[in-house]
Structure 1
């Protein structure tokens, strides 16, 4: 294949393509594939670690909330950048999109280095806070020390993914993640078993695969494969550039931060009532849940580029149609995955462990977390629709609901009354309450869009009649 056809294959899609459903599939399915591969990547990592022992599974489980906090900051910046870029491109202002992308890429590097220093300085305190027992603390501390070095790499990779997706290039993101996944899976058994690095080998394999992914994105931006041009000369600290990104990004970051805190409390109570088996069993179920969440997030990310572009172009009819299409696709998948996980809970748990107690806890937790999962698609589309419209406050309220003002209070109350059963009940009630609130707000938001769409249609019709009469 010559350079020109390859560059054409990786060129961004036209976000104003009139074939809207086809465009959503073209953008959404590579994002689904990419993030699903990313989820499988982390899941297979856990399978390899499970071959070492149950203490190792528990160790990476207590590190998970810390990694989620790092990912939360990267995701917040990425979502904020993506929506700002989408609206700028929709409004016909590519230079503003270039400045936004370049500014956030430049700011991510010192931010990542500062976070690495903080984690290394307080790693033991963080792990104890997140429920590490004396038995797993040395393993978790060693693993976290290695992973902390890759914080900047993680954040840059997340940001690069969002920038590419925001300009309609989900294919490049997908193939980059596939390459990253393949390299990590190849390195895991080599570093963990052949070289005898154990748990540290899993961390090193992840870092090496991240470096390879960033090398691919460096080529993408320097060779100008996409429409955006990232350069240090475009970086600026102007508030008119930073404010829209932060208004959307901060609620997203806060949401994931609260998820990390909720996970810390969750694992603490799981360990208190059921020991390391409780931590490992709940951790397995949460991995399975994340595996189902990421395809929906991927599809909504691909669709968000269309939504943000439509809003920037002041086209509510297109925004409404795209939102309805995304809602059908994500809700359909959520129902199939949720009930499939419930029906196959024991075989799924057995993939991760041969310990009977851990498998039983994992199977029970899979049931209570995956029944309410059927509503996750509606919640996710509501959030990206509000973000595309720049309604950051309302999007933030929905984002923080489940793991913020629902799950945390439930975890602080129910386990004291019902012990481990209270932990399980909290994992069921929090997403169900969030689902009821999200569905109600989604109905209101879609009605508002229909009203705007009707107004635009009437105005357009009147303008056409006036032009013909004159």
Structure 2
């Protein structure tokens, strides 16, 4: 049997492959694995920090929201560049795709440096804002002062991941993340305990791992293993290229930041009405919910490359087929996962706690949050379909709905009338309203695509491109 060459294994998949389901699985499953690896990475990192002491855990916890906001900026730019690159490749314009990718890599460096300076200048104020007490403030400041220097590395790594995914190479992204994760796990005990750096050792281990990951991407782009050519000669600032990236990416960043704010408010109200038990119970349910979202988000990330490519190629039949396949796959998983979480809510809650009161709150929250979760797949596919089409305003409107203009107002209204039950009602109503709105819009868009597909397989999309970003 002939061994597949390494270059062929890491080469991008053919985004025009007629076997749509197989292609989506090939692209989506490595993305799912990458997201899962990242989640496990943070968990194990926390375990090593926990071996130092409770104050160190508290310090890294209050730093986390700041790092999440940095990640939100990177994620927004990543989604924006991925959709723009996919459309350019589908339109048969690899040079524009390379210019887009190269320009965003160039911009990530000054942006990361500005964020680093801002964090260093205002680190104490930021940490106090996110709840650092006097006891943990010195530890948190020291840790944040070190990880602030990794902001540029974080931005570059996120962008590189999305660029590789956009050209159909989720495998390289997955293996790079796995290598980064493995190196970080090896370095954590060495830096923390052997060199006796303590909490600072965890930060140094993360930075070294990021440098290694970026080294892998440097080789990937330098040797042109993929389709794109990320090079200095393509790095001139072009507003016509940057505009569609920002219009798609900014709502994604805003959504992530709103999610952080919403969860802060959620846990504040849960703690106000039910104390630490309320925070713990709701926290367990949200952790289980997030775990269920990972496969759907991963599949949609892989599928987004196919959708963007089909839109760029003006192939409405393929766009419709890929959307339908993604909708079936993600909805089937959402329904199965949601029903299992609802039916087994008490055994699931018992996995996380032996406290009867906390388990009861967790079980109740699990049921209420996983009823609307069965529609999460449809909402996610609508979002990536709109992003692939460049319909920035509508994508942004859907993106910020659940944790923005639905959840936050509900949290400020319902608990005032119904106390803790109002908190739970907000967690049910926000995704339920988002699901209803998303389903209505998705039906309209799929009908438009079906009409175009039946009348002309290769169409200009004039009837649905009024919001397309040029």
Give the TM-score normalised by structure 2.
0.87
Could you say if the C-alpha distance between residues 54 and 285 of structure 1 is closer, same or farther in structure 2, counting changes exceeding 3 Å?
farther
Query: For the Cα contact (< 8 Å) 2:78–2:162, is it kept in 1?
Result: yes
CA deviation string 1:11-65 (max 9, x = no partner): 0111111222221121111112212222222233345556667766555444443
Q: Following superposition of structure 1 onto structure 2, how do residues 115-126 of structure 1 map, counting pairs within 5 Å? A: 115-126=115-126
- State how far apart, in whole Å, the 1-side matches of 2:150 and 2:354 are: 31
Query: For the Cα contact (< 8 Å) 2:124–2:141, is it kept in 1?
Result: yes
- State how far apart, in whole Å, the 2-side matches of 1:198 and 1:371 are: 43
- Displacement of 1:132 after TM fit? 4.4
Query: For the Cα contact (< 8 Å) 2:164–2:226, is it kept in 1?
Result: yes
- Displacement of 1:142 after TM fit? 4.5
Query: Does 368-377 or 46-55 show the bigger shift?
Result: 46-55
- State how far apart, in whole Å, the 1-side matches of 2:233 and 2:381 are: 36
Could you say if the C-alpha distance between residues 347 and 105 of structure 1 is closer, same or farther in structure 2, counting changes exceeding 3 Å?
farther
Q: Following superposition of structure 1 onto structure 2, how do residues 63-462 of structure 1 map, counting pairs within 5 Å? A: 63-132=63-132, 137=137, 140-191=140-191, 200-273=200-273, 279=279, 282-342=282-342, 364-457=364-457
Query: For the Cα contact (< 8 Å) 2:316–2:458, is it kept in 1?
Result: no
- Displacement of 1:354 after TM fit? 6.9
- Displacement of 1:420 after TM fit? 3.9
Could you say if the C-alpha distance between residues 195 and 414 of structure 1 is closer, same or farther in structure 2, counting changes exceeding 3 Å?
farther
- Displacement of 1:125 after TM fit? 2.8
- State how far apart, in whole Å, the 2-side matches of 1:426 and 1:343 are: 21
- Displacement of 1:75 after TM fit? 0.9
Query: For the Cα contact (< 8 Å) 2:316–2:457, is it kept in 1?
Result: no
- State how far apart, in whole Å, the 2-side matches of 1:338 and 1:244 are: 35
Query: For the Cα contact (< 8 Å) 1:65–1:261, is it kept in 2?
Result: no
Query: For the Cα contact (< 8 Å) 1:327–1:377, is it kept in 2?
Result: yes
Query: For the Cα contact (< 8 Å) 1:191–1:201, is it kept in 2?
Result: yes
* Structure 1 SS opposite 2:331: helix
- State how far apart, in whole Å, the 2-side matches of 1:138 and 1:371 are: 43
Query: Does 54-63 or 333-342 show the bigger shift?
Result: 54-63
CA deviation string 1:154-198 (max 9, x = no partner): 111110011001111111011111212222333445555666666
- State how far apart, in whole Å, the 1-side matches of 2:5 and 2:252 are: 37
* Structure 1 SS opposite 2:210: helix
- Displacement of 1:279 after TM fit? 4.9
Query: For the Cα contact (< 8 Å) 1:47–1:351, is it kept in 2?
Result: no
Aligned to 1:466: none
Query: Does 443-452 or 43-52 show the bigger shift?
Result: 43-52
Query: For the Cα contact (< 8 Å) 1:61–1:280, is it kept in 2?
Result: no
- State how far apart, in whole Å, the 2-side matches of 1:299 and 1:91 are: 23
Gaps of 5+ in 2: 461-470
Gaps of 5+ in 1: 461-470
Query: For the Cα contact (< 8 Å) 1:98–1:230, is it kept in 2?
Result: yes
- Displacement of 1:245 after TM fit? 0.8
Could you say if the C-alpha distance between residues 79 and 316 of structure 1 is closer, same or farther in structure 2, counting changes exceeding 3 Å?
same
- Displacement of 1:118 after TM fit? 1.7
- State how far apart, in whole Å, the 2-side matches of 1:281 and 1:272 are: 13
CA deviation string 1:138-159 (max 9, x = no partner): 5554544443332212111110
Query: For the Cα contact (< 8 Å) 1:131–1:264, is it kept in 2?
Result: no
- Displacement of 1:434 after TM fit? 1.0
- State how far apart, in whole Å, the 2-side matches of 1:425 and 1:50 are: 34
Could you say if the C-alpha distance between residues 167 and 417 of structure 1 is closer, same or farther in structure 2, counting changes exceeding 3 Å?
same
Could you say if the C-alpha distance between residues 411 and 456 of structure 1 is closer, same or farther in structure 2, counting changes exceeding 3 Å?
same
Could you say if the C-alpha distance between residues 336 and 153 of structure 1 is closer, same or farther in structure 2, counting changes exceeding 3 Å?
farther
Give the TM-score normalised by structure 1.
0.87
